[in-house]
Amino acid sequence: MATKQRGRPRSFDRETALEKALRQFWEHGYEATTVSDLTREMGIGAPSLYAAFGDKRTLFGEVLVRYAGSYGAFGGRALAEEATARAAMERVLREAAAVFTEPGHPHGCLVIHAATNCTTPEVEQTLRKQRNANIATFASRIQQGVAAGELPEGTDAADLARYVGAVFQGLSQQSRDGATREDLEAVVDLAMRAWPEASAGASRGARAAG
């Protein structure tokens, strides 16, 4: 026996509306995006937004998850798929240069840009935590490279990870300011020249041990 559906059926596609919210936050940041902006872009009324997504902060949390699994997923793939720490970090930066300047969506990184002028402590803390988690992940991958002999034994993985993070964040801001993919690729070229190299003997030893 069919059960009668209670309430009014949802008159919009939730995934489409969420994507529109993502782009609104990405373009304007968290603080500058109002509920009115969101309802206008999403094509729904405020009651529908609250019923489907909760308040603005809850909606933004869902946007961050969607961003991490789509536009921002290139970093995780690079770390998982590349054989060396150098190759992984370089791929992260080069793919950032491509994604941050790609046509069809706002430029830069949502997690970086959304924090601009943010005065909501919970959101500011969430974004800072995510950025720091990314750098910690870089450090872990770099430390693996040190242990494998790809990098000099005395390499400070945390410092090198923060360097990569600073370049990454700079690429995001410069893309917002109009830098092209080619401009950013040139920055990556320069950044990778500073990458520390293990001695030839250490590299051969690491390969032999493997």
Looking at residue 200, what is its pLDDT?
A: 58
- d(CA 185, CA 55) in angstroms, rounded, equals 39
pLDDT at 110: 97
Provide the pLDDT for residue 10: 54
Sorted by where each starts, the structural domains of the chain and their CATH numbers stand as 14-68 (1.10.10.60), 74-203 (1.10.357.10)
Sign of CA pseudo-dihedral 37, 38, 41, 46: negative
Q: Are 139 and 157 within 8 A, CB to CB?
A: yes
Over residues 91-129, the pLDDT tens digits come to 999 999 999 999 999 999 999 999 988 999 999 999 999
CA distance 95 to 104: 16
Q: SS in 3 state form for 34-63?
A: CHHHHHHHHCCCHHHHHHHHCCHHHHHHHH
Provide the pLDDT for residue 199: 61
**What one-character DSSP code corresponds to residue 77?**
H
Q: What is the pLDDT of residue 116?
A: 86
- Write down the pLDDT at residue 4: 45
- Are the C-beta atoms of 149 and 205 separated by less than 8 Å? yes
Report mean pLDDT in 10-residue bins for the chain, 210 residues: 46 89 96 96 93 95 97 96 97 98 97 91 95 97 96 96 98 98 98 86 46
Q: Is 104 left (phi over 0), alpha (psi -120 to 50) or beta?
A: left
Q: Say how far apart CA 114 and CA 189 lie, in whole Å.
A: 27
Q: Say what the pLDDT of residue 92 is.
A: 98
Which pLDDT value is given to residue 9? 46
pLDDT value for 142 = 97
Q: Which two tokens stand for residue 131?
A: 């950025």
